[in-house]
Amino acid sequence: MDDTGDGGLGLVRALVQHHAEHASGMVEVRAAGVPSLLYLVDGVPVFAEAGSLGETLGRVLLREGKLDQEQYAAIVHHMTEQLVDSEQMRFGEAAVALGFLSPTEVTAGLERQVQRKILACIAPRDVSFHFIPSETLLDHVGHFPCALEPLLVEGLRRDFDAPRLMPVLASGLQHYLRLQGRASDIGEALQLTPAEVRALRTVDGEATTLELLAPGRMGSLESDDVVKLMATLVLLERAELLARPPSARAPRPRRGTPARPIREVREDGGPVDDAPPERRERRAPDTTAVAEPAKDARAEREARPARRKATASGPERPRRPAEAATKPAKPATPAKPKPAKVPDPRPRGSYDAAARLRAKQLARLAGATRPSAPEPPASAKPRFRPSVVAKRRRFLAEKAFRAARRHLDRGQWEPAEKELRKAVQLEDDSTEYALCLSWARFRGARAPSEKAALREELDERVKAALRHDREMAYAHYVRAHLYLLDENEAKALRGFRRAADLDPELFDAQRHARLLAMRKK
């Protein structure tokens, strides 16, 4: 595992490098204690597997409003029953079989699921990863390609603030930022906003990074947005930092540079030849081969071809004697008569069929003797590929969690706590299950001392859940309630609105947001 310790930027750089090198294989990522697998084909992400329930296909479709709570619960129940009968069915197949979704909607949901899992991997600060180059690991996974650069731009814009991205530019504040292409092309490839594209048009390579960070230098963008934009361009290799601006000339040589040595001159004005005597004689011109200069221009023009020919040909070589040059001729051999062509008695079609059959047999024999592709080493195989039993435990846990959510929405804290304990026992690594269990215990507690102890535990659960998934709707919902208990209505209003936007089924969050907005007026 490569533990970068640079705030998660190492994984972004690694993905960009694999994309540039068209690498194929698997990236094993461990972020916030949760393992994930990212599969790359020619550097493009095509599939992702996560060790938590945060970004399953069902959660993605539920969050986007493609399914409601009852449909989701029916699909999970259907999958659980099928697993009991030893038949493995995926969520998308069950949704199509029950008539809730079309195959096209399932495919689009799987593509968004891959994107959300990648975003969840690069969001945390503490990330360790390891790349395993292998094409055999890609044989048994789905292929849902997604553009890497716009996805990284979305993740950097959403989860990375300016102080977290400033180390990318810290060493090049006095360097000049130059774009690797036109601003419009970069904006289209990275799916930038119109304001960001207008800001890129002001970057001409003649201003340093520190000058570009000045207020108002890059249009209407704030200073933090400018830092995020420039760092994103450098990370994605869409811009480079130069020591000199492109218009600067090459530096002149210093005064201490030694000049060329002055050659000695003879009395008649010609340079002194310092070559050895034998080399001087060898390269002396043959004055006898040069014709005398003509007196007029016409004679000069006629004499030029003769001089060039004499200079190029050099001294004439002696010819061989006539008796040595002539060799006895070889006696001519009579031509062999060609055998008569005997026609093939078989029809042409049967001959081609026999040849094709023979070629297939030879190819089959060659394939049998050819060594098969080596199996990947044990360390290259996924370490947490879920088995049938693990899938059944996961579905049962999700079924119990859905039942607990219905109890929570109705204010039934004790039945909700019972179902949540069952879900946590089946899937103990789910931060959402643990958060909801702490919330049910906190709401059901009666003694003030017990409630105070559970409040501290609940605060830690909320922080852990948001570190794992910043778009977990129920975490924002619980934190908004805690703000409300602390009489911080402004933060509570923002929290309830955020939870309602992420999960349209959280009607209690919508109700609290409306009430707080009315009180604010």
Q: Is the pLDDT of residue 141 over 60?
A: yes
Q: Report the distance separating Cα 7 and Cα 111, nearest Å.
A: 27
Burial classification of residue 56, based on how many CB atoms lie within 10 Å of its CB (0-12 exposed, 13-18 middle, 19 or more buried): middle
* Helices 223-235/148-159 angle, 10° precision: 150
Least confident piece of the model among 51-65, 117-131, 271-285:
271-285
pLDDT in tens, 216-269: 888 888 888 999 999 999 999 999 999 888 877 655 656 555 555 545 545 555
List CB contacts of 17: < 8 A, sequence separation 6 or more. 23
> d(Cα 188, Cα 173) in Å, to the nearest integer?
27
Single pTM value for the model:
0.54
Residue 479 predicted with pLDDT over 90: yes
pLDDT of 229: 92
The Cα 132–Cα 420 span in angstroms is: 37
Which one is predicted more confidently, 285 or 460? 460
Each residue of 344-357: pLDDT tens digit?
A: 554 444 445 555 66
- Above 80 in pLDDT, residue 500? yes
Residue 185: band (very low, low, confident or very high) from pLDDT cuts 50, 70, 90: very high
Report pLDDT for 231. 92
Half-sphere exposure of 204 (CA within 13 A, CB side): 4
With 0-12 / 13-18 / 19 or more C-beta atoms within 10 angstroms meaning exposed / middle / buried, residue 475 is buried
* Domain residue ranges in the chain: 2-66+101-146, 161-242, 402-520
| Dihedral over alpha carbons 111, 116, 117, 118 (to 10 degrees) | 90
SS3 at position 241? strand
Percentage of residues of the chain with pLDDT beyond 70: 68
- pLDDT, residue 458, reads 92
Quickly tell me which residue has 């092309």 as its tokens: 185
* Residue type at position 428: D
Q: At residue 88, does pLDDT exceed 50?
A: no
Q: What's residue 294's pLDDT?
A: 44
What is the gyration radius of the CA atoms in the chain, in angstroms?
A: 39
478: enclosing H helix or E strand = helix 473-485
What pLDDT band is residue 17 in, cutting at 50, 70 and 90? very high
Q: Report CA torsion sign: 296, 298, 301, 307.
A: negative
* Angle value at C-alpha 71, between 405 and 80, nearest 5 degrees: 80
pLDDT digits (tens, 9 = 90+) for 346-385: 444 444 555 566 666 566 555 544 455 555 555 555 555 5
In whole angstroms, what is the distance from residue 517 CA to residue 134 CA? 55
Query: Helices (DSSP H) in 103-207: which residue ranges?
Result: 103-122, 148-159, 162-170, 183-190, 194-200
CB 476 within 8 A of CB 508: no
Q: Which CATH superfamily is domain 402-520 in?
A: Tetratricopeptide repeat domain (1.25.40.10)
Task: Report the pLDDT value the prediction gives residue 69, as an integer from 0 to 100.
Answer: 77
> How far lies 330's CA from each of 322, 324, 325, in Å?
18, 16, 15
In this structure, of 100-114, 118-132, 421-435, 486-500, the range with the lowest mean pLDDT score is 100-114
Q: Which of 168, 167, 166, 172 is nearest to 244 (CA)?
A: 172
pLDDT at 358: 61
pLDDT at 84: 44
State the DSSP string of 63-94.
HTTSS-HHHHHHHHHHHHHHHHTT----HHHH
More confident residue, 78 or 270: 78
- Per the model's pLDDT, the better-predicted residue between 410 and 128 turns out to be 128
